[in-house]
Amino acid sequence: MRLHEYQAKQVFSDAGIPTPASELAGTVDEAVDAAEEIGYPVAIKAQVHVGGRGKAGGIKLVDDAEEAEEAADDILGMDLKGYTVDRVLVEEAVDFENELYVGVTMDRGEGKPVAMVSTRGGVNIEEVAEEDPDAIAREHIDPAFGMHPYQARKAVYDAGVDREIARDVASVLTTLYQLWDDRDGADAEINPLMVTSDKDVIAADAVFNVDEDALFRQPELQEMEEEGEFAESELEQKADEYGFDYVRLSGNVGIIGNGAGLVMTTLDLVDYYGGEPANFLDVGGGAKADRIANALDMVFSDDNVDSVVFNIFGGITRGDEVAKGINQALEQFDEIPKPVVVRLAGTNATEGMEILNEDLVTVEQTLESAVQRAVDYAEEVEA
Amino acid sequence: MSVLVDEDSRVIVQGITGGEGKFHTEQMMEYGTNVVAGAVPGKGGQEVAGVPVYDTVAEAAEAEDADTSVVFVPPAFAGDACFEALDAPLDLVVAITEGIPTQDMARVKRAEGETDTHLVGPNCPGLITPGEAKLGILPGNIFDAGRVGLVSRSGTLTYQVVDSLTQRGIGQSTAIGIGGDPIIGTSFIDALSLFEDDPETDAVVMCGEIGGEDEEQAAAFIDENMSTPVAGFIAGRTAPPGKRMGHAGAIVSGSGTGTAQSKIDALESAGVPVGDTPEEVVDNVEDLL
């Protein structure tokens, strides 16, 4: 789960990391009022989870009320890579000399957290990591002890940060690690950490991704997630409501299955047989009839979808429950909105096939043939 | 012969009194697994599925001479359950639970490093030596005893491949689901080296997926250390960057590491044939045998 920039800044600022003065605005008037209050120049920044906001026109620097009004009017309501902007952060523009990078993440290969510092902030750090890995100082943290103070200092010195500000940067890194550790962070990042001409450091951007599996013990972050849902698409909100692992893609063959690896494989096969997957939808293990019906509702409500392939290999999921769910979902229609191809295997598959109303769906015996059939249907609709 | 689990394994089920724990204990016993005890705090003295329940894992291990544990404990408490099993101590701990916080698993993994215990999972279907014993939730009826080992990050994808193998008359020595989380106890390399040392395994199927670099490291290991042939499959070729595809660990990073293509290339350059479809994987196994 990713916090919005304004939320991450709030969390960082509460923990004592310096951030620029800022205010959230939902209308042009609110944005101008905020800009007047903060004092020019200010940056007006779209609050959506999209990388490269600046390049896409989602961040503008303004010098007076007229420019603020124009920029807020441009950005509010704009479409940024499929997301409509309905909040902006109005923020004091910081005059800086240098831009650093500070981050904490889990190194999954090592199974340990890693703290990172670089003097090459302000640019895409993943590109820096690729071109010049030595430009980023890394310090692995023993999860049993947490970060020792010397490790923060070492990362800062190894990165070649100016001695005058080394102590302040180490302090920001220490706080960031503590936050990451206490609040079940997945990634915590400040890029750039700006250095002003007075040698102050200030977090000009803030990224905080939370481990979704740990949200149950982070009630405050859970509230922020709910509050931040304004920037989700209707389909994403529906997936949250039903509790599905769902990812929307750009094709027209809808996919429902159980188990991440098998659903990914089904997507890949759609592509392999010349179709384009419309989504990833995993109903999870042990899904009952209601959940199966919800999954069909979910995929039917995507306008891009022309056909659906339903592939279940039952381990703890039972074929009879799946069949009941499919019947339940389809029997309510006078006319089935989109052709559905079903393949059932594993636990109670035979019982499921007996229950399944074959007037409503096309049944296939193998994964490969089911996918091919769904791709054919989608092509017929498009033709 | 087989790896990690056989008919002599003496098994504790942690969380045996829960719905999942009880159901799968019965299923495991029906398959032939020697479940000797349950461990649930506060439930000591009860009996579930005909086996005694103890308050602690240490007590259960000592009283019933157990060497293995299967963890069916809810995610908030599963990290603690793993620590308890590591501390008992046991030879093998299999964590089935999905949704354990990553930072909890980093600490468990750290503790595992100081023991001789094998940890499999979490977020995995478990493992099975067909005809002898199964640990976890795999549907036993699709497996058949034989000489092909299988290691996979995904449960249902394993079932898909195993079903095809069995239908074509190719039995399995042991199948290990290593789990779909970013931090797991047993890596591909760990599982592959067990199969390499097993005289009863003639070939290995390895099913990987997007995310991390475990498959790339496994490819290097195969190239340098394995004489047993390996057939590969990688799920997630069509996954977009930055999106978690069901499994917490199945994500292509924004900078493009962890892609299916990188894993396929690594495996192929190590001489591992990678199938485009699950059926093709089984074709490749037939060729290797």
pLDDT, tens digit, 9 for 90 and up, residues A285-335: 878 888 999 999 999 999 999 999 999 998 878 889 999 999 998 988 888
Other beta carbons within 10 Å of A377: 22
pTM higher than 0.90: yes
**Are A315 and B103 within 8 A, CB to CB?**
no
**Are B156 and A313 within 8 A, CB to CB?**
yes
Interface pTM (ipTM) of the complex? Answer: 0.92
Cis check for the bond before A20: say yes or no (omega within 30 of 0): no
Judge whether B227 is closer than 8 Å to chain A, CB to CB: no
Domain B139-288 CATH superfamily: Succinyl-CoA synthetase domains (3.40.50.261)
Structure token pair of residue A245: 């692992």
**Are A143 and B103 within 8 A, CB to CB?**
yes
Q: Is the pLDDT assigned to residue A146 strictly greater than 60? A: yes
3-state SS, chain A, equals CECCHHHHHHHHHHCCCCCCCEEEECCHHHHHHHHHHHCCCEEEEECCCCCCCCCCCCEEEECCHHHHHHHHHHHCCCEECCEECCCEEEEECCCEEEEEEEEEEEECCCCEEEEEEECCCCCCHHHHHHHCHHHEEEEECCCCCCCCHHHHHHHHHHHCCCHHHHHHHHHHHHHHHHHHHHCCEEEEEEEEEEEECCCCEEECCCEEEECHHHHHHCHHHHHHHHHHHHHCCHHHHHHHHHCCEEEECCCCEEEEECCHHHHHHHHHHHHHCCCCECEEEECCCCCCHHHHHHHHHHHHCCCCCCEEEEEEEECCCCHHHHHHHHHHHHCCCCCCCCCEEEEEEECCHHHHHHHCCCCCCEECCCHHHHHHHHHHHHHHHHC
**Kindly report the CA angle at A181 between A179 and A186, in degrees rounded to 5?**
90
Q: Is the pLDDT assigned to residue B1 strictly greater than 60? A: no
What amino acid is encoded at A100 in this protein? L
What pLDDT is recorded for position A282?
94
Domain-wise residue ranges, chain B: 11-120, 139-288
pLDDT, average across residues A76-95: 90
* B68 close to B45: Cβ distance less than 8 angstroms: no
Q: Is the pLDDT assigned to residue B251 strictly greater than 90? A: no
Distance CA A163, CA A179 (A): 25
Highest-confidence range of A281-285, A378-382, B172-176, by mean pLDDT?
B172-176
Strands A22-25 and A88-92: antiparallel
* Structure confidence by residue, pLDDT tens digits, A149-168: 999 999 999 999 999 999 99
Strands A279-282 and A59-62: unpaired
**Are B255 and A260 within 8 A, CB to CB?**
no
Do B11-120 and B139-288 agree at the fold level?
yes
What pLDDT is recorded for position A130?
82
What residues of A are annotated to the active site?
A: 101, 189
**Residue A231: pLDDT band by 50, 70, 90 thresholds?**
low
Average pLDDT, chain A: 92
What residues of B are annotated to the active site?
A: 247
**Residue A232: pLDDT band by 50, 70, 90 thresholds?**
low
Which domains occur in chain A, in start order? 21-92 (3.30.1490.20), 96-227 (3.30.470.20), 234-382 (3.40.50.261)
Distance CA B156, CA A367 (A): 12
* Structure confidence by residue, pLDDT tens digits, A328-362: 989 888 888 899 999 999 888 899 999 999 999 99
Q: Which CATH architecture has domain B11-120?
A: 3-Layer(aba) Sandwich (3.40)
Paired strand residues for A89: A24, A45
* B15 close to B72: Cβ distance less than 8 angstroms: yes
Structure token pair of residue B148: 């092909």
What pLDDT is recorded for position B254?
64
C-alpha dihedral sign at A56, A62, A66, A72: positive
**Kindly report the CA angle at A347 between A345 and A350, in degrees rounded to 5?**
65
A182 burial via Cβ count (<10 Å: 0-12, 13-18, 19+): exposed
Judge whether B19 is closer than 8 Å to chain A, CB to CB: no
**Residue B268: pLDDT band by 50, 70, 90 thresholds?**
very high
CB nearest to B159's CB, from A260, A313, A366: A313
Q: Where are the alpha helices (DSSP H) in B141-213?
A: 155-167, 188-196
Over the Cα atoms of chain B, what is R_g?
A: 18
Residues of chain B with C-beta less than 8 angstroms from the C-beta of A271: 237-238
* B241 close to A295: Cβ distance less than 8 angstroms: no
Judge whether A215 is closer than 8 Å to chain B, CB to CB: no
Percent of chain B surpassing pLDDT 70? 99
Q: Is the pLDDT assigned to residue A211 strictly greater than 90? A: yes
What pLDDT is recorded for position A230?
66
Residues of chain A with C-beta less than 8 angstroms from the C-beta of B255: 126-127, 129-130
What's chain B's length in residues? 289
Judge whether A280 is closer than 8 Å to chain B, CB to CB: yes
Q: Is the pLDDT assigned to residue B130 strictly greater than 70? A: yes
pLDDT, average across residues A97-114: 94
Higher pLDDT, B243 or A34: A34
**Are B106 and A112 within 8 A, CB to CB?**
yes
* Structure confidence by residue, pLDDT tens digits, A267-282: 999 999 999 999 999 9
What pLDDT is recorded for position A40?
95
Average pLDDT, chain B: 95
Q: Is the pLDDT assigned to residue B128 strictly greater than 90? A: yes
